[in-house]
Structure 1
Amino acid sequence: MSMMVKDPDSRIDFEFDWATAYPDGQAIVASDWTIAPTEAGGVTAVGMAHDLTQSTASLAGGVAGHVYRVTNRVTLSDGQIDERSMTIRVEER
């Protein structure tokens, strides 16, 4: 799991590239992003998108000094379901 740093006032895109994990032609057919913990003023996904191999979320907000787990769960064209997570630490930059 990777660690990223985000300013509480920024809105920035984060992406997972699934192509390297599934090189046999599977494609993303559904993608969902979750963030924990859920709290007032916490990090939120304000936009989500995906194509056949990549999934992107625009993340906004967050409380300075707090740490969040951001998880992307995808369903692939062959029915497999997988997920990846990253840790976001929010700090004034």
Structure 2
Amino acid sequence: MTMIVKDPGTRVDFAFEWGAAYPEGQALVASEWLAMPDEPGGVTIAAQTHELEQAAVTLAGGIAGHVYRVTNRVTLSDGQIDERSMTVRVEER
């Protein structure tokens, strides 16, 4: 699992590349990002996009000293559903 560190006052962009994991011709048709735990002042999904083989997110906020799990759940063109997660540790920098 990927781990990133962010400051509570920053906005951070991150992307998962999905293309290498699936046979040629598969494409992302839907993507959803979730940040847990969902708490006041916690990490939020400020923006999200997806293309044929990549899903991207902009993360904002967070409480210093807290750790969050950010998950990307995608649907592929053949109907398969998959997800990947990363850990986000929030620290004052």
**1:1-93 residue pairs with structure 2 within 5 A?**
1-93=1-93
Q: Quick one: distance in 2 between partners of 1:20 and 1:3? A: 20
Which stretch shows the higher mean deviation, 16-25 or 58-67? 16-25
**Could you tell me how far 1:2 is from its partner in structure 2?**
1.2
Cα distance in structure 2, aligned partners of 1:13 and 1:23: 27
Q: 3-state SS of the aligned residue for 2:63? A: coil
CA distance in 1, matches of 2:37, 2:11: 18
How far apart are the structure 2 equivalents of 1:52 and 1:92? Answer: 35
Looking at structure 2, the residues matched to 90 and 50 of structure 1 have their Cα atoms a distance apart, in angstroms, of 25
Shift of 1:25: 1.5
CA-based RMSD? 0.7
Q: Percent identity?
A: 68
Q: Deviations over 1:3-22 (max 9, x none)?
A: 11011000111110001111
Q: Report the number of matched residues.
A: 93
Give the whole-Å Cα distance in 2 for the aligned partners of 1:90 and 1:17: 24
- 1:48 positional shift: 0.5
Using the size of structure 2 for normalisation, the TM-score is: 0.97
Structure 1 length normalisation: TM-score?
0.97
